[in-house]
Structure 1
């Protein structure tokens, strides 16, 4: 009888903000993160930083405040409970962080803590989702031409242009790349891949690094208000490289099939349970990057408005004309047993993503 090897991954590492050399923003003043400036209020023993901005603050990054040297505080400690969270949970301590010109299209810091950036030697490839401290899931289309040793994963990333976030991102090399054995591009089926890092160097669970739940094979849930989020390749090289977010809804199979046949896939399109359709108002995020892949489709867990499961991974946008968009997603519920099998074969703990 096969027995799983339970690895206490959350105990193998700790995350501490890396020390930064603060730069001057005035006489006896320096640019520091909001939480490290003793300008705010203490309520019931908890410190609430002053997040208003003054003229002097404009000399600092939007994640920083111009603070008197004598008022600079040490970096805050992480809440201990973050390692005991269930999958799909989020921490809202830093939702106030937003770039200049914020238009409700960018994800906030820590809003989707399972969101992972996947890089090759040439640069950013696509997005993925963390499902355990050693496993990230994405589309096979994203990584099909890559070797495991050429890939690196970055979890807890937010603004990829700077390193000023309240909690640092974490980078890991890839140990193994698992593409679905039956993946094909034409027709587009079984578009899924699991990326593994070494068991002795897992991602450390923290407020901005958490696994997302995977839907059980028989779960029935409502996809009425879901989100997609990820980075766009076209943003890299800019002053701010933030993950975008967009609200979508998933479609029942019969409606999905009908809409697919009206799109570029044609009347003979055969929809199956391995695919999921999601649509909504048109946004530049999904339709603005034809090479975008692996963007997670995240939907609320039934009975939990602020706990999420991974419903799908963007395989391709199929209709971006007009005011409405439509996209095809790899249906994670259909592949749950395959994912479980691949991790169990390697004696990896699957409880991190179990509802």
Structure 2
């Protein structure tokens, strides 16, 4: 797991939010982000903010605390040298953030810092995964009918309903879309695309914005406990719009072939290495949105339980009519050489996603 040491630096002037702009939550109290409230314990010279929720805190957003005005601190700043870690790394600085009704099915803030929200002109399209500060991987199905100049990428996003996260999300426009040349919908194959942003405006690495590793073409991994995570379109418009998470396992190719033939794809389905099957307990996340696509399938690196590589991208849900679900994913490992080639042709650094 990648840990970050937070250093609080007092910021003056316009960088300090105005007290007058904060919501009043009690006598001489305002709602402020947890990190900006000087209430807690000092142990061995280290300050631990109070994470508990009181009755007054209920008057604030779940990412804020009802704080005495004199105890309000400036916005914490994380030094640049502590902004990055090896690909696929994540941290737990802000895992305490919990919306009302949290059911362990929502991803925590910063849990999957490579997760990207892909938008059209004003509409959420799908999820994607950051592999370098200039490149995002998603499915061809997600972006094939979208006007490139209207596609926007939000990295570091969490609750899409507000902008109160401890670290801000970053938005970039897409300057080039690379759809795999052999992509077809029928039969389903090669459903992958690379979205590139302006070289002059790369994503800035931060605790909530990190690249995920890509699997080397000839290395085998243990796919016994993997995760999927992304946003559901049906959640948009609600008070909290958090990315969901679910635990899955990847099936061996022979089992995948058998299950696909028994599902809606039929007995004559010709399975190829471009697809992965992932199964597990049925959940509303994968089965609740029939139009959901490109949700990343993330599996631990061998010997590193807290570092992940991008195993697949959700192409479609094949079976959700029983207690066990079956999802079909683009096998990212098969496209590693294609991704390397396309980025190198544009003189882009591929070391960000190398294990």
Shorter-normalised TM range: over 0.9
d(CA) in 2 for partners of 1:274, 1:292: 19
1:42 CA drift (Å): 2.5
Aligned to 2:73: 73
Corresponding residue SS for 1:259: helix
Map 1:123-134 onto structure 2 (within 5 A): 123-134=123-134
Aligned to 2:7: none
> Structure 1 residue 161 and structure 2 residue 125: aligned?
no
Q: Which sections of structure 2, spanning at least 5 residues, go unmatched? A: 1-10
- RMSD between superposed Cα atoms in Å: 1.3
1:19 CA drift (Å): 4.2
Map 1:1-355 onto structure 2 (within 5 A): 19=17, 21-355=21-355
Corresponding residue SS for 2:258: helix
d(CA) in 1 for partners of 2:103, 2:16: 30
Task: Give the conservation status (yes or no) of the 8 Å contact 2:57–2:65.
Answer: yes
d(CA) in 2 for partners of 1:45, 1:186: 63
What are the Cα deviations for residues 324-344 of structure 1, in whole angstroms up to 9, with x where unaligned?
A: 000100001000000001100
Task: Give the conservation status (yes or no) of the 8 Å contact 1:314–1:328.
Answer: yes
1:18 CA drift (Å): 8.7
Q: Which sections of structure 1, spanning at least 5 residues, go unmatched? A: 1-15
Q: With structure 2 as the length reference, what TM-score do the two structures score? A: 0.94
Task: Give the conservation status (yes or no) of the 8 Å contact 1:18–1:168.
Answer: no
1:27 CA drift (Å): 1.9
d(CA) in 2 for partners of 1:333, 1:121: 31
After the TM superposition, which parts of structure 1 deviate over 4 Å for at least 4 consecutive aligned residues? 16-20
Task: Give the conservation status (yes or no) of the 8 Å contact 1:62–1:100.
Answer: yes
d(CA) in 2 for partners of 1:101, 1:219: 41
d(CA) in 2 for partners of 1:78, 1:94: 14
What are the Cα deviations for residues 202-255 of structure 1, in whole angstroms up to 9, with x where unaligned?
A: 111000000000000011110000000000000001100000000000011011
d(CA) in 1 for partners of 2:17, 2:181: 44
1:98 CA drift (Å): 1.2
Task: Give the conservation status (yes or no) of the 8 Å contact 1:227–1:247.
Answer: yes
1:81 CA drift (Å): 4.1
Task: Give the conservation status (yes or no) of the 8 Å contact 2:192–2:330.
Answer: yes
d(CA) in 1 for partners of 2:16, 2:90: 22
